[in-house]
Structure 1
Amino acid sequence: MKKLQKFFKSPYPVFYQRWKIALISCIIVFLILALLQPFGISNISHNKLGVLLGYMMVTGVFLSIPVYLFPFLFPDFYKDDNWTVGKYLLNNLLIFFFIAVGNWLYSDILFGWGLHWEIFLSFLFATVVIGLFPSVFFVMLNRNRLLASHLREAVEMNRHLQKVAAVSSELEKAGEEDVIIFSGGTKESLEMAVKDLLYIETEGNYVKITYRKNDKPVQKLLRTTMKQIEEVAKPFPYLAKCHRAFLVNLYAVSKVSGNSQGYHLSLYDSEVDIPVSRAYSKDIRMLIESMNNG
């Protein structure tokens, strides 16, 4: 059950080239109706092509409601950063529903069947069965597209990282003596050289600071918030937030890995991989690419 919940909550791209979704879906509906000829289409003796093109057009019009109109009306729900597999599947159900409504109405105009619920349910069932094919197609297409894009961008970021001679020498450019002080809600505080910081992670009402001490990674819990940490880190642009729960020292990054879910950062002197969420991926790429100019 937990695996299924994790799958539904996993990131997914929202509507990659919407016109392609509409066009390909319409073509698939047209071909399936032409081959199987359900809903009394097989009994049509004249202008069958026109009837099929009508179904195709109706599919495109009603499919546009959840693909174009809903994202316009409810932009927060359809934000790319928050879009998940679960939302994608829910939206597909909406797409199937509206296509079924459109074809139900169109069939009543053609054949005069009447707007009966049992007829609509048969249309909805057929639409779901037919819609499974383009849905699976788009899942595979978008997964492969994301994987290829993230791998390509990871290679590019690693190329920039390789140009950075070494963590210590690069940090000398920012100031070998730079010191940063993190304060907690109590009287606790932590002072260190900026070059020794690896990453910071939120843990409930605390943050866990991982840094080098005597050439070994150590950790310290402070009662503070990530927002307060960000304020302290502002003077150092290479201390970048890469996820709602993580802030990382980009000069401590040894490698970037990419997959269909996004990016992960591997660090020197740490076995922990730091996730990069979609909301911060562009900023992280730009910062890494600018490190050689700093």
Structure 2
Amino acid sequence: MKTLFDKLVVLLCSPYPELRARWKTVVLPSLLVFFILYVLQPFGISRMEGNKLLVLAGYAVVSSAMLAVAVYVFPALFPAWYREERWTVGKEILSTLLLCVLITLGNWCYTAGVFGLELNLRLLAVCLLWMVVIGPFPIVLFVMWNRNLQLSHNLQEAVAMNARLAERVQAEAVSEPRSAAARGEVLLEGGTRESLALDPARLLYAESEGNYVRLRYLDAGSGKTAVKLLRLTLKQAEDAFLDYSYIIRCHRAYLVNLHRVAQVSGNAQGYRLHLEGCGTEIPVSRSYAVRVKRALEGSE
């Protein structure tokens, strides 16, 4: 049983897709900051006479500058760390915290300059306090925005894949599975002297479970789904089906027979494959999404 720490590690290491346009990430939060500051008027701005809007605009510019550093400069300096396909929930959290620190430091310097104050810890604490008060609004807004963008994108992709799948599924199910069956069965041998001779066309999916692989397939005699647990790695199972292009890796823990895919659904996390005669939904991870999409649409 997974502990709370294990679940937290899995969450932090899980993919976090980013679809936001970078310029919007710089401009829109700054406008929101300007609006919130105009309503709350912190840092003694409420007691100012004259140039309030100009001072408030300065805070928005500082926020934009710090956002630009986080969005443009850091990814250019550290491209490996910011690679989109390797971006995770944990990295998103660290990036957000770093951005909050940058904006706090920027506001600290700007506030001292505008009001002629000394750059001391007391002023830094005040700026940090207002970051804690104001920061959650743009952070929550942009997390929800990115989630909705991802959901909309994945739903549209799923609709397109389902339309293409409906056109191709009958021809694929007749041609390639039959020719594959004619070439014989694949022998999967486990480390405990157990083995399974399987017609690749009957495989539904293979799932990694520690040092074992769980294979779910259609039984040749009854036509019902059957399960076999073998002591081998998913990479070994993948290599065994290497000659069958319709059996591919779709996730670090799953192989799937694309000829058995009846429907594709999309949500904020990605795609899920629904197989014929099988209640299990197979996840498609971000790193394999493009390959699965191309294979389903027949462009690979």
TM-score (norm: length of structure 2): 0.87
| Residue aligning to 1:116 | 120
| Residue aligning to 1:264 | 272
Distance in 2 between the 1:168 and 1:145 partners? 34
In structure 2, runs of 5+ residues without a counterpart are none
Distance in 2 between the 1:13 and 1:130 partners? 25
**What are the equivalent positions in structure 2 for 1:111-260 lying under 5 Å apart?**
111-163=115-167, 164-165=169-170, 168-172=173-177, 174-178=179-183, 179-213=185-219, 214=221, 215-260=223-268
| Maintained 8 Å contact 2:213/2:233 | yes
- In structure 1, the residue corresponding to 2:134 is in which secondary structure? helix
Cα shift readout 1:236-279 (whole Å, capped 9, x = no counterpart): 11101000000000001111111111111111122211111111
| Residue aligning to 1:280 | 288
Q: CA deviation at 1:106?
A: 1.1
In structure 1, runs of 5+ residues without a counterpart are none
Q: CA deviation at 1:217?
A: 1.3
- In structure 1, the residue corresponding to 2:262 is in which secondary structure? strand
Distance in 2 between the 1:151 and 1:15 partners? 14
Segment of structure 1 superposing worse, 86-95 or 75-84: 75-84
Q: CA deviation at 1:133?
A: 1.4
- In structure 2, the residue corresponding to 1:290 is in which secondary structure? coil
Q: CA deviation at 1:97?
A: 1.4
Q: CA deviation at 1:173?
A: 5.7
| Maintained 8 Å contact 2:62/2:107 | yes
Structure 1 136/271 Cα, relative in aligned 2: closer, same or farther at 3 Å? same
| Residue aligning to 2:76 | 72
Distance in 1 between the 2:281 and 2:142 partners? 30
Counterpart code for 1:248: V
How many matched pairs? Answer: 292
Distance in 2 between the 1:241 and 1:34 partners? 52
Taking only the aligned residue pairs, the percentage that are identical comes to: 43
Counterpart code for 1:243: H
| Maintained 8 Å contact 2:105/2:124 | yes
Counterpart code for 1:12: Y
Q: CA deviation at 1:84?
A: 3.8
Matched, 1:97 2:105: no
Coordinate RMSD, CA, aligned: 2.5
* Consecutive aligned runs of 4 or more in structure 1 exceeding 6 Å deviation: none
| Maintained 8 Å contact 1:200/1:248 | yes
| Maintained 8 Å contact 1:177/1:193 | no
Q: CA deviation at 1:201?
A: 0.8
Cα shift readout 1:63-88 (whole Å, capped 9, x = no counterpart): 23333333334444433334344433
Counterpart code for 2:162: N
| Maintained 8 Å contact 2:188/2:196 | yes
Distance in 1 between the 2:88 and 2:30 partners? 24
Distance in 1 between the 2:19 and 2:290 partners? 19
| Maintained 8 Å contact 1:14/1:88 | no
Q: CA deviation at 1:152?
A: 1.2
Distance in 2 between the 1:263 and 1:135 partners? 25
Segment of structure 1 superposing worse, 89-98 or 251-260: 89-98
Q: CA deviation at 1:186?
A: 4.7
Q: CA deviation at 1:107?
A: 1.3
Distance in 2 between the 1:15 and 1:171 partners? 36
